[in-house]
Amino acid sequence: MAARTLRIGLIPGDGIGKEVIPAGRRILEALPASLGLKFEFVDLKAGFETFEQTGAALPDETVAILKNECDGALFGAVSSPSTAVKGYSSPIVALRKKLDLYANVRPVKSVLTAANPIDMVIVRENTEDLYVKEEKTYDTPEGKVAEAIKRISQRASSRIATIAGEIALRRQKIREAGSPSIHKGPLVTITHKSNVLSQTDGLFRSTAREALANPRFKSVAVEEQIVDSMVYKLFRQPEAYDVIVAPNLYGDILSDGAAALVGSLGLVPSANVGEGFAIGEPCHGSAPDIMGQGISNPIATLRSAALMLEFLNEEAAAAKIYAAVDANLEEGKLLSPDLGGTTKTEDVVQDILRRL
């Protein structure tokens, strides 16, 4: 079999991004040769430190190389200054726009032997809703009033529901290939608040329904749930969810809530996905409080590398990384301090590489 070469941009960014992204590179390099995958890596700059050095948080060169030369990327973290700094804005937000990475995908998984096991993916629409940031404030005789636009389009709702359906099918394939799971079949839960917002969330709901009614999703069960009751059930009965698809704001809130259920931000990966391109990104930030001590948990990044591979259609390689990470967690002997252990980043990485 001819080897496929994937060119991956590495953007460590700030803080512990610099500690965990090298681990992501190593796990990709350590994948067995039998998978027929080769990697080329390109080191790229972005972040607050880059801003201080060059005046740009996201240099044009980084965007151009990602666009023109890379198949995917791993992004570490960027520190957000506590007070607004003139000219600085988040490079990952800018990247999502420039590369049209319309889906934010967050798998949240606990060890499956937990009392309330969790194995879900939240698929968050990433381009519209209240995040179009069209706000205004005006004066009235009773005082100031502020308004924000919540924009929902058929196009964005349809493509996010479609990718959620595809993710549900792929998760089922990975299960059928032998990956243990708490779910029997693929399920997508559409979440919204169309009982109150009948036009905006109503459009999201009906469009998502329609997209998921496509015959290629006939094996996928589709249900819907109002977002507030969903939060309740998410905390009481998280095992009920497989794939959740949500507009931007609800997706943002649900994904942080779900991450809290598994105990540490250091475990939770994400991917920013567009047409034929994916950036893996741990959900945590730059964690300045633990930077430089060699104790950051690399698992969110290792899982993000696997998630990126899923979107590059390399499911077998992704499954190997997931299995190695899960085995480390199930054994529970070599855990980083955020999980209650005493193991250093390097030794967690070594253990997972050995299991690979």
Which residue in 22, 285, 337, 341 binds Mg ion (CB under 5 A)? Answer: 285
The letter for the amino acid at 221 is: A
Q: Which does 70 bind (CB under 5 to 8 A by kind): Mg ion, ligand ATP, none?
A: none
From residue 10 to residue 49, the character string flagging contacts with ligand ATP as x (rule: CB under 6 A) and all else as - is ------x---------------------------------
> Does residue 287 bind ligand ATP (CB under 6 A)?
yes
Asked if residues 322 and 271 have their Cβ atoms less than 8 Å apart, the reply is no
* 334 φ, ψ (degrees, to nearest 5): -110, 80
Residue 224's alpha-carbon distances to 77, 243, 258, in angstroms, are 33, 11, 18
Stretch that binds ligand ATP, among 21-29, 195-203, 225-233, 280-288 (CB under 6 A): 280-288
Asked if residues 346 and 294 have their Cβ atoms less than 8 Å apart, the reply is yes
Q: What is the separation, in whole angstroms, between the first and last Cα of the chain? A: 21
* 273 φ, ψ (degrees, to nearest 5): -120, 135
The pair of three-digit structure tokens given for residue 254, joined into one six-digit string: 């649900």
159 Cβ contact partners less than 8 Å away, ≥ 6 residues apart: 102, 103, 211
Q: Which does 42 bind (CB under 5 to 8 A by kind): ligand ATP, Mg ion, none?
A: none
Q: Which does 325 bind (CB under 5 to 8 A by kind): ligand ATP, Mg ion, none?
A: none
Least distance (Å) from ligand ATP to the CB of residue 264? 6
> Does residue 265 bind ligand ATP (CB under 6 A)?
yes
Size of the site for Mg ion (CB under 5 A): 1
> Does residue 79 bind ligand ATP (CB under 6 A)?
yes
Strand 103-109 with 119-125, pairing: antiparallel
> Does residue 286 bind ligand ATP (CB under 6 A)?
yes
> Does residue 356 bind ligand ATP (CB under 6 A)?
no
Q: What are the residues binding ligand ATP (CB under 6 A)?
A: 16, 77, 79-80, 265-266, 284-290, 296-297, 300, 336, 338
